[in-house]
Structure 1
Amino acid sequence: MKIDYHTHHARCGHAQGDLEDYVKRGIEIGLDQLGLSDHMPLLHVNPDTYYPEMAMSMEELPRYVEECLQLKETYKNQIDLRIGLEGDYIEGYEDQIAAIIDKYPWDYVIGSVHFLGEWDVTDYRQTGQWEGRDRLAVYEAYYDAVQKAARTGLYDYIGHVDVIKRFGYAPVESVEHLERQTLEVIRDCDMAIELNASGLRMPVAEMFPKRSMLAYALELGIPLTIGSDAHQPERLSQYLDEARACLKEIGYTQLATFSRRKRELVYF
């Protein structure tokens, strides 16, 4: 089964292509399932004064869901569409996040940590904030946030679990203990993770998560799905052949799929 569960679209402000462009591209390349998973509206920063084009507006959220549902019906005989959301975890905003999640008929919700406070550690425009910081302390704060996200019970799987490495900033010290502890928390919360192939086109040039974390996740019995994190239709499923090959080498035989917030494992 060929799936891609992580995609972004023009509505979020920093991606290209309409939802239907991704659906048509998914049909063209032979996907069995395509997840539409745009960014949740920003909750903890003022979208009018913060960095532009970070996420869809709150007013667009119902339109996004409505369009996803329409496309699911229109193309039901050509591709299996799953309706998702990448829901940023922001500590202290759990109730607001839950209200968004509970309001709509999601098939799955990705729990991702992009922000440490008001710093989006995944935004190339904000890499200057690494200067003068204790990198180990940043990694500790990041993995603490991922663990808290898992414990909320709000999400179906954790997205790009080690995305903190995206721009190549890393502590001198080993962070393996943080990575393993985080995976153990995810296991204890009966959550899945994703293998996000987009890291291969980032400065770090490595998928999220790295191979050693994938191997430990398999050892722990953590289910796993895959996504390209495409921000342009032509990048749909980019590097997913490499992702599947990597998973098979490590020993994975199944991928997690989601429907109406329920997980099902399929062979790939």
Structure 2
Amino acid sequence: MLFDLHTHHDRCGHAVGKIEDYIQSAVEKGLHYIAISDHSPFFFSDEDQLHPRIAMAKSELASYVGEVLTLKEKYKDKIHVLLSLESDYFPEHEDIYRQNIAKHPFDFVIGSVHWVNDVSIFKKGRWDGLHEADRIRNKEDYYKLIQASAKSGIFQVLGHIDAMKGFYPEFTQIETPIIDETLKVISSEGVSIEVNTSGKTKDCGGWYPSNEILERALHFGVDISFGSDSHVPDRIGDDYLDVQKTLKEIGFREMVYYVEKKRQVVLL
């Protein structure tokens, strides 16, 4: 069974193509499920669209949901279309995100940490000049936010949990026990993590998370899902079969996806 739970489109301001382009690509590639999961608005902001090149406007959310549901019906004989959202996680704004997400019939929500200490994790140069203690602190701050997102109850899937390495591959060399601590929390909360193949488009190459983290995730009993994090239609389902093969080699026996917030299992 083929699925892709993490896709974007032009509403977010940095992806190419309409929602239907991604669905059509999924149909052409033989996928059984595709989730549309564009970046959530910055709900806490007084501005309608705080960052036009990062996420959709608050005023666009209802039309986004409506369009996905319309296309879900249109393509129901060809593919299962799931309604989702990739939501930022800001602990100080947890309630307003929870309230806004609850207004819509999402099949699941991806929780992704993109901001640590008010700086984007993808900002090039954020690591320049930092001493070892500062690098450790930044890495641990990142994973503490991921732990809090797992405990929030808002999300079913956690997105790209080592994406901070995207433009700083040395991130993986920063030694701290925080990753094992985080995986224990994720497991205890019953939330899944995704294998996200968009890491291959960044300086780090490869996937998020690393195979080493996936091995630890297996040890702690963490569920694994999949998302290409496509920002162009051609990347739908990218490396899915390779991901399945790798997961089997590591020792996983299943992957998961979600329909109406209910966990579904795909045997490997």
Same fold per TM (> 0.5)? yes
For residues 80-159 of structure 1, the aligned pairs below 5 Å read 80-122=80-122, 126-133=123-130, 134-159=134-159
Preserved CA contact (<8 Å) 2:49 2:56: no
| Change beyond 3 A, Cα 1:218–1:173 | closer
SS at match of 2:255: strand
Moved over 3 A (4+): 43-52, 169-176
> Is residue 2–residue 30 contact of structure 1 (8 Å, CA) maintained in 2?
yes
Partner of 2:262: 262
Q: Kindly indicate whether the alpha-carbon contact (under 8 Å) linking 1:12 and 1:56 is maintained by their aligned counterparts in 2.
A: yes
Q: 1:19 to 1:49 in 2, by over 3 A?
A: closer
Computed over aligned residues only, the root mean square deviation of the Cα atoms, in angstroms, reads 1.8
8 A contact 1:227–1:237 mirrored in 2? yes
CA shift, 1:170, in A, is 3.2
Amino acid across the alignment from 2:113: V
Q: How far does the alpha carbon of each residue in 1:146-193 deviate from its partner, in whole angstroms, 9 at most, with x for none? A: 011111111101110111111125359643511111101101111111
Instruction: Confirm whether residue 170 of structure 1 aligns to residue 175 of structure 2.
Output: no
Deviates more, 1:195-204 or 1:15-24: 195-204
Paired with 2:49 and 2:87, the residues of 1 have a C-alpha distance of 21
1:31 equivalent in alignment to 2:28: no
Report the counterpart of residue 211 of structure 2 in structure 1: 211
Moved more, 214-223 or 68-77: 214-223
Instruction: Name 1:225's counterpart in structure 2.
Output: 225
CA distance in 2: counterparts of 1:169 and 1:46, whole angstroms = 35
Q: Structure 1-normalised TM-score?
A: 0.93
Deviating more after overlay: 172-181 vs 228-237: 172-181
How far residue 118 of structure 1 moved from its aligned partner, in angstroms, is 2.7
Alpha-carbon distance between aligned partners in 2 of 1:49 and 1:24, rounded to the nearest angstrom: 28
Instruction: Find the counterpart in structure 1 of residue 182 from structure 2.
Output: 182
Conserved 8 A contact 1:146-1:161:
yes
Aligned residues: 265
Offset of 1:240 from its aligned partner? 2.1
SS of the residue 2:238 aligns to: coil
CA distance in 2, matches of 1:266, 1:256: 6
SS of the equivalent of 1:59 reads helix
Gap change, CA 1:121 and 1:46, over 3 Å in 2: farther
* Correspondence for 1:248: 248
CA contact (8 A) 1:135 1:169 kept: no
Unaligned regions of 5+ residues in structure 1, if any?
A: none
